[in-house]
Amino acid sequence: MLKRAVLALLIILITGYFYFIYDPANDIEVLINDQYVILIDPVIIDDGKLLIPAKLLFEELGAETEWDSENRILSALLGDFKIKLPVDSNNITIDGEITIWDSEVKMFNNIIYIPLMASAETLRAFVGWDEQTKTIKISTPRGFDPEYENDNGGPPLHVAYPPVSQFRYYANSLFVFGTTKSYAQVDVNVNGKPVDILDPRTGNFLTMVNIPRGEEIVIRVEATDAKGTTTVERSVIYPAGWRAMPGEPLAVHPTNLIPGEDQILGPGDTLRIAFQGSPGAEAKFWIGNEEKIISMTEMAYPSGPPGAGGIYTAKYVINRQDVPGSGLSAPVPITVILQKDGEHVSRELPGKITFTSESPYKVVEVRGQYEIKNRGWLYIVRDKNYQLHAGTLGGTGYPTNVVGYLIGGTRFEAKGTSGDYYRVKINEIDTFLIHKTAVREVAEKDTLNPTLLSLDLSETGEKVSLRLNSSERFPLLIVDGTNKLKVKLYGIEENEIVSMPPLTSAVKDLKLETCVGDCDASLILTIELDYFMTGFEPVWADNQLMLDIYKPQQINKGNPLKDKTIIVDPGHGGRDTGAIGPGDIHEKDVVLAMSLHLRDLLTAEGANVIMTRTEDVFVNLYDRPERIADYDADLFISVHANAHAHGARAVDIHGLMILYNYDHNQKLAEIMLDVMEEETDLPAFRTWRRNIAVLRHPQIPSVLVEAGYMMHPEDNWHILHPRGQRMFARAMLEGIKEYFLSLDYQYR
């Protein structure tokens, strides 16, 4: 949008003089939403300001106007968006609130004129000037208006969510989101009820619909104006979930079967066998041949107590007689059989079993940090329960949770495999999974017997460095804090008594403890600092684990961004569209616009900005943070717009959310949220610690900004509006500056 000073300069260039109280600018044309307007009454210039006929502007934008001759007030109504314009006053009432314009409403020759820039800002319009054609270009968010889905004379209507018919949705509270004609008199109903929220500025609407489970229902959306009604229908299915199979005919379910993938197992390993079949029958299984047939227990429902629900389950512990004398056996199938009233049916399960005599099966080493991409997760197996009707990692039936990220070079003993995963056991309690592509086999090692040899501690102006010297690489997990790190060491012993190095000036405490009680590690090393860390980085070099813990950066208080290297990551891109917006607007487009504005603002403040993308291209999610190391960056910010989860009360949930991944980034997240709330018109929703890929690397301060919800009309007005995008960029800039200014560590 042109600033007033720029527009005034353009007017001077156009007219060259101001000799009259007002001057008809007859050579100026007006283009509103790409349509030339017939100027019955001319645009005029008064006191250096460009004035436009009020009725012309509002009625071209679809508003109804009304003249109150007694009080000399012109009113314009666009949906629920009402503006009152008193002649010879600059106190304008917009939706019941008074706004003071910098120029009065004027009447010349019985025509009411309003200042172009002020009125455009009131309508949130975008104003441009074409010097060559002497054309004023005015556009409103009607640029986001959808195409007609039913060309029957009714208003345009697009239902963005649910996006298609026969849409599968997994909650009983469904949000319906879409858009119709902006700045217009349009009523929107969903299944005969008015929508909860309708923003007349954009035509975006949002409402909630309750849907029953287990049946397909039709969502009927209607948009009505004076010309007619446009209707769009979407069907939605909330799947019924688990249902018992009929008693007849006797059958085994074709897909609800465990194990679902091949397994390599050794002595002492436990195999769960489970399937769904006709209830009230007798179930058995055998592995390989029918020499050993084992009975199964029927459960009332998945993971429930014994009962006639048609869920049959058993556990089998591998014993020495099952495994070969050496090496691996050939893969053998598992067969289940169901018997009832003299009938029987059988089915071979999808996962075959290979037995291994090797213990451990293999020693594996995590590949380089930037090789493992989306396979860099360490999962813990939750074997207290099982999932029959949903896929699980490795097809074991046991659910998993992420417990940490893999550190390149770390070694593990693999007990066997489950599908595409190695099963690694790093303590005596739990089993963990690592994807096969994340590691390589260490052929020269049969087992791991690491010994901790010594500890070294050093300090520079930028960091504290802790070195763990061992006989070989070992499994570990790092538990982070704001000024403390706890390193859990697994399967390792001390070399007699490891002497503790002297503390440096920035280290308050360093201790090595043997794990006792409920602790799951062999040793725990804890380092406590007297500063708020801004990052840490563990790296293996030969058999030495190097752990660098970074101090707060030195800041120029007068210009905190000067010479800082900041990575700006516009989310999604290319085929990855991100969250659904109204019409054909998607998250990938708006966050790119915000990010480019942010780049320009940061650059103007003296920062060196690295963009993960500058156009609409796909960038692999796991390639984005690689530039942290490539450019020795000082901060990483990923820019997104939010989407509601299934079952969310979407009409009530909106605003700003900041995600972070480590305790030391919580401060950055909280500052960003507070500053962005102050700088924007949106509420602060929350900060949230999340294990997400782009925030996986702990070396530098990193956050992901969710700039409101794409599906919420109060949020997406700002998200979709170019001025709102610049507002978000400015807010992010101020948040980053505030964070750097908060780093007041005194360097020694």
Per-residue model confidence as pLDDT tens digits over 437-477 = 999 999 999 999 999 999 999 999 999 999 999 999 999 99
CA distance 256 to 252: 9
Lowest mean pLDDT among 104-108, 147-151, 659-663, 681-685: 147-151
Q: Give me the pLDDT at residue 41, please.
A: 84
- Our measurement of the distance from residue 22's CA atom to the centroid of its chain's CA atoms, rounded to an integer in Å, reads 54
Whether the CB-CB separation of 743 and 555 falls below 8 Å is answered with yes
Right CATH number for 144-237 from 2.60.40.10, 3.40.190.10, 2.40.170.20, 3.40.1180.10?
Answer: 2.60.40.10
What is the third-level CATH fold of 4-139? Copper Amine Oxidase; Chain A, domain 1 (3.30.457)
The predicted-structure confidence for 584-598, as pLDDT tens digits, reads as follows 788 999 999 999 999
Q: Which of 55-64, 287-296, 535-544 has the highest mean pLDDT?
A: 535-544
Q: Give me the pLDDT at residue 38, please.
A: 83
Lowest mean pLDDT among 413-422, 572-581, 731-740: 572-581
Q: Give me the pLDDT at residue 86, please.
A: 94
Asked if pLDDT for residue 4 goes beyond 50, the answer is: no
Asked if pLDDT for residue 10 goes beyond 80, the answer is: no
* Stated pTM of the model: 0.85
CA distances from 291 to 275, 294, 318, 517 (A): 21, 10, 15, 44
**Residue 19 banded pLDDT, cuts 50, 70, 90:** very low
Retrieve residue 257's tokens. Answer: 């079967």
The predicted-structure confidence for 324-365, as pLDDT tens digits, reads as follows 989 999 999 999 999 999 999 999 999 999 999 998 999 999
CA distance 430 to 379: 10
Burial 211-248 (b: 16+ CB within 10 A, else e): beeeeebebebbbbbeeebbebebebbbeeeeebbeee
pLDDT-above-90 percentage for the chain = 64
Residues in the chain: 748
Q: Which carries the bigger pLDDT value, residue 100 or residue 394?
A: 394
CA distance 562 to 199: 41
Q: Which carries the bigger pLDDT value, residue 634 or residue 7?
A: 634
What does the domain layout of the chain look like in residue ranges?
4-139, 144-237, 252-355, 362-441, 451-550, 565-742
Lowest mean pLDDT among 38-52, 170-184, 520-534: 38-52
Whether the CB-CB separation of 77 and 94 falls below 8 Å is answered with no
Asked if pLDDT for residue 46 goes beyond 90, the answer is: no
The predicted-structure confidence for 141-166, as pLDDT tens digits, reads as follows 666 677 766 567 899 999 999 999 99
What is the third-level CATH fold of 451-550? Immunoglobulin-like (2.60.40)
CATH placement of domain 565-742? 3.40.630.40
- Our measurement of the distance from residue 389's CA atom to the centroid of its chain's CA atoms, rounded to an integer in Å, reads 26
Asked if pLDDT for residue 518 goes beyond 80, the answer is: no
- Among 656, 637, 631, 641, smallest CA distance to 695 is for 637
Q: Running DSSP on this structure, what letter comes out for residue 580?
A: B
**Residue 620 banded pLDDT, cuts 50, 70, 90:** confident
Q: Give me the pLDDT at residue 14, please.
A: 31
Q: Do 252-355 and 362-441 share a fold?
A: no
Q: Give me the pLDDT at residue 625, please.
A: 74
CATH architecture label of 252-355: Sandwich (2.60)
CA distances from 142 to 194, 535, 731 (A): 22, 46, 26
pLDDT average, residue stretch 229-258: 93
**Residue 79 banded pLDDT, cuts 50, 70, 90:** low
CATH placement of domain 362-441? 2.30.30
The predicted-structure confidence for 681-725, as pLDDT tens digits, reads as follows 899 999 999 988 889 889 999 999 999 999 999 999 889 888 789
- 3-class state of residue 262 by DSSP: coil
Lowest mean pLDDT among 280-294, 544-558, 734-748: 734-748
Long-range contacts made by residues 372-376, C-beta under 8 angstroms, separation at least 24? Answer: 372/406, 372/408, 372/437, 372/438, 373/620, 373/622, 373/623, 374/621, 374/622, 374/693, 375/435, 375/437, 375/438, 376/405, 376/406, 376/438, 376/622, 376/696
Share the mean pLDDT of the chain. Answer: 89
Asked if pLDDT for residue 6 goes beyond 60, the answer is: no
Asked if pLDDT for residue 16 goes beyond 60, the answer is: no
CA distance 378 to 364: 13
